[in-house]
Chains A and B, each alone.
Chain A
């Protein structure tokens, strides 16, 4: 177990390192300097700016400096959008809101998706199953922005239902989070439901379920205590990619509902070509996803003792 964990941690660190190096090199390879803005600058000014931000040194040294700073939590400063404000500070002020919406969306997706999957599996071939299958296939075929915009059109017309607002307003409390979380969680919910259904079907047909039934256990107990436990393993493996999906889906949902979160800011920084912010956010989010994947993978081995730990990753 320890060997496996060490191996995975090394892989994760390597991945993050690769991301950091690649983003850095990409950032430097963009044609034109970061100072190409509306105002024309003299050679002197550019040289001063280059010296100030350390852009005059050779590239490998810049890379090492950047990595060293990044390790100490310094990802550089914004060049355009919020001039000279540290990227780390921008991330720490904006990420909590994105994380909040993401977590709520994830939680409801799993809490609703798993029972729905069980329901479909238990009623296999009946109308409940067919209905759920149609709904879930439709759910995974709708891009997030379509769901978000349909919610917007449907729920926030002239006679807005329940006082839902098209533009995110944190002072509204839970009401403000309703639509973003629904829009973000629908796809994962449908995916989780489909996944649960298929793995439930596998485990329902196992011998030990027959044994449990023969012992006279109640259906509810059989489903939730015996079948579901084993059926949940694929769902747990999916949680890692799910976190990545929710993060990226957050970009769209935050744009649609004008939520001042990190995702929307990231997209804005791309159209503004504020490279330090793009790179800093990419490294941060990628590291986040990599770490979440790591945690989920280790958790997965802990949950299912049948999996051979000595064989390792693949």
Chain B
């Protein structure tokens, strides 16, 4: 047979007829059951790698994304485990520890400073009285009225500053005295009373980031605020995920007139500036929710009271507006997937539309869904901080990072750290979510890589 083999040109596409003819020459042995050894040789040597494991492997190689993930884990620990460690509550007023800086002087240094700056000797009451006298004299010299409100303000100022002296003049004197005496800051904030308690052998947890003008510990507040911001980001992404993927897949799967109408609705929503609409809605929905809370007591009302009407309005807005981007992406994906044979096969077998969407279409655009949802988190956090900063976000006593920045504005020049700390945390959080989302996109869908 060998010499009869037809000559075949190299690279010819002509099928090899001889081997095809041989397919028919089957003997009885060819129909014997396979032996154990033969069966085993069919089992692949390497365990098959699932979609997720493959993606994880690619993600792990992306250093930037892994660092971002590490930072995110740290932030989650900070927000959810941190409050268990810090003994102060986010709305706990620590009396006598108002307006602390995130640093302090030791008791001896404080005494030396007081001596050097001179004027602020004596007990607290004497200092308060002196400060009020001084302010009254100043006010009278300028021809202004010195009201009781002013007096109360100065009293609070002097007390809260722990006797280090208030006012710009004494600040300069303080700085000079510090330089002359060679006194340095000690890390973390303690009030004088707390320092005395430490002296007495008590253990006092420091105010690591200082306190605000009500004596609330900024570290504890930042932790709770980070928690609020994170929950909002993830919840918003979840809302967007559910609505966007459902709407997008239905629109893409149904096609035709249904698709056209659904897409016109998306177009209308898409061309609206979201922030504007959210501001509007929070102005309008807010009173409704407040009315609901007072009229309908119950678990839902309690929940709404905790989050506050503004925040509830914000969630409504996410549900109304933010899903359009997601739905467009899912629709585009579904449009290509629904042409595939397995979808036709499913339809031929009589599967309903809902089943095809649930079992065949959505699982096949899971990568896109995850990536879009992940990139939605930072934009939701961004938006929430923006709204809270404008005063239409979370309501007191709940704090978010944006509302902490807003609260810090009152004493911006004197206590800039109150703004810097939450602001930096927002930036780090959004940055890590962005970087991680980018990495996830590269890992889950390399085609999308920009």
Contact status of A146 and B426, CB under 8 A, knowing A11-B267, A26-B281, A31-B287: yes
Q: Which chain A residues lie closer than 8 Å to B264 at the CB level?
A: 11
Partner of A153, one of B288, B385, B416: B416
Residue of B nearest to A274 (CB): B283
Q: Which chain B residues lie closer than 8 Å to A97 at the CB level?
A: none
Query: Restricting to B360-386, which residues have a CB under 8 Å from any CB of A?
Result: 378, 382, 385-386
Report how far A29 CA is from B392 CA in the complex, Å.
19
Most A C-beta atoms less than 10 A away, residue of B287, B390, B430: B390
| Nearest-Cβ distance from residue A93 to partner chain B, whole angstroms | 20
Binds A, one of B270-278, B299-307, B343-351: B270-278
Report how far A266 CA is from B425 CA in the complex, Å.
28
Contact status of A14 and B268, CB under 8 A, knowing A146-B426, A266-B279, A278-B283: yes
Q: B135 contacts the other chain (Cβ, under 8 Å)? A: no
Contact status of A15 and B390, CB under 8 A, knowing A141-B378, A267-B279: no
Binds B, one of A59-67, A82-90, A108-116, A286-294: A286-294
Q: B263 contacts the other chain (Cβ, under 8 Å)? A: yes
Check B271 against A290 for contact (C-beta < 8 Å): yes
Q: Give the size of the chain B interface in residues (CB under 8 angstroms).
A: 44
Contact status of A285 and B276, CB under 8 A, knowing A137-B434, A145-B389, A153-B419: yes
Q: A99 contacts the other chain (Cβ, under 8 Å)? A: no
Q: A271 contacts the other chain (Cβ, under 8 Å)? A: yes
Report how far A225 CA is from B284 CA in the complex, Å.
51
Check A146 against B427 for contact (C-beta < 8 Å): yes
When each residue 129-173 of chain B gets 1 if its CB lies under 8 Å from chain A and 0 otherwise, what string results?
000000000000000000000000000000000000000000000
Q: Which chain A residues lie closer than 8 Å to B287 at the CB level?
A: 30-32, 273
Check B280 against A278 for contact (C-beta < 8 Å): yes
Q: A198 contacts the other chain (Cβ, under 8 Å)? A: yes
Report how far A32 CA is from B392 CA in the complex, Å.
20
Partner of B390, one of A157, A201, A252: A252
When each residue 279-296 of chain B gets 1 if its CB lies under 8 Å from chain A and 0 otherwise, what string results?
111111001100100000
Binds B, one of A39-47, A243-251, A299-307: A243-251
Partner of B268, one of A15, A248, A251: A15
Check B413 against A157 for contact (C-beta < 8 Å): yes
Q: B412 contacts the other chain (Cβ, under 8 Å)? A: yes
Q: Which chain A residues lie closer than 8 Å to B409 at the CB level?
A: 149
Report how far A150 CA is from B420 CA in the complex, Å.
8
Check B276 against A248 for contact (C-beta < 8 Å): yes
Residue of A nearest to B419 (CB): A149
A-B contact list, 17 entries, CB within 8 Å: A11-B264, A15-B268, A138-B427, A140-B434, A146-B426, A146-B427, A153-B419, A244-B276, A247-B273, A247-B276, A248-B273, A252-B389, A275-B283, A278-B283, A289-B273, A290-B272, A293-B271
Binding site for A on B (CB under 8 A): 263-264, 267-268, 271-277, 279-284, 287-288, 291, 378, 382, 385-386, 389-392, 402, 405, 409, 412-413, 416, 419-420, 423, 426-427, 430-431, 434-435, 450
